């Protein structure tokens, strides 16, 4: 897979930096929806939802159907694959952090065992 | 792993939505650096780099050392693990998109073969 252009990643990350937009994506992961169907559960105005949809569409995260009246909104996950690819380079770092956490827990356990042995001897 | 609070994910995605901040993280993935060492390769002013570092620090993506004079900046990858966890729910969608892309390519190949056969017959 070719890596995403910088501006495309900027748009995708910016689009994901909002809880309503992430909730819209979560809703669309259950299937396409009309704008009206998206307005109902969020308790937000239709223009507000439409504005969020424009940001998501500009980032390529959703696309709209061509059926003139309803234009259902669909999830487009390809930009998320680009985010995953970008993240890939950093995977070793959090693996390392987990290893360090594991070492720390093992060290705590060893200390606890030594402590318990001392208590027994008393 | 517990899922990240919403505001934390907002901050992480917003921090990642800038090419300079992503470049700083890439530089730090090679090892810690002082602010001066970060200023040099980017051709940006020290206050600009410091502002970007504050955004990254607020998102938990970098931390600063305690050595008073230099306070080296270190990558902290834990928030990226949270992004990976969030992405996980969508993984099946891009697997599906890749499958669809593959189907499309296979269909193109079939068409091309039929076309080539027709040309031969002429």
pLDDT in tens, B3-49: 567 999 999 999 999 999 999 999 999 999 999 999 988 889 999 99
The residue among B98, B100, B51 whose CA lies nearest residue A84 is B98
Instruction: Name B64's bridge partners.
Output: B73
Q: Point out the residues of chain A with pLDDT beneath 50.
A: 1-2
Q: Global pTM?
A: 0.77
Q: Do A29 and B81 touch (CB under 8 A)?
A: no
Q: How confident is the model at residue B2 (pLDDT cuts 50, 70, 90)?
A: very low
How far apart (Å, rounded) are the C-alpha atoms in residues A6 and B56? 18
How far apart (Å, rounded) are the C-alpha atoms in residues A2 and A81? 11
> Is A102 an interface residue toward B (CB < 8 Å)?
no
Instruction: Name B62's bridge partners.
Output: B75
CA distance B104 to chain A (A): 15
Q: How confident is the model at residue B101 (pLDDT cuts 50, 70, 90)?
A: low
Of the candidates B9, B18, B94, the beta carbon closest to that of A80 is on B94
The residue among A90, A22, A57 whose CA lies nearest residue B22 is A90
**A vs B: CB pairs below 8 A:** 84
Task: Give, to the nearest 10 degrees, the angle between helix B19-28 and helix B35-42.
Answer: 120
Q: How confident is the model at residue B97 (pLDDT cuts 50, 70, 90)?
A: low
Whether B39 and A38 have beta carbons less than 8 Å apart is answered as: no
């Amino acid at each position: 897979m070719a890596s995403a252009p910088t501006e495309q990643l900027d748009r995708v990350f910016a689009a994901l930096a909002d809880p309503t937009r992430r909730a819209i994506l979560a809703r669309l992961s259950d299937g396409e929806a009309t704008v009206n169907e998206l307005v109902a559960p969020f308790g937000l105005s239709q223009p507000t939802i439409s504005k969020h949809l424009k940001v998501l569409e500009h980032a390529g995260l959703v696309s709209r159907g061509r059926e003139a009246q309803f234009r259902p909104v669909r999830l487009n996950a390809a930009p998320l694959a680009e985010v995953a690819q970008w993240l890939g380079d950093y995977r070793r770092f959090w693996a390392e952090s987990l290893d360090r956490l594991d070492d720390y827990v093992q060290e705590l356990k060893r200390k606890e065992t030594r402590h318990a042995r001392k208590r027994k001897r008393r």
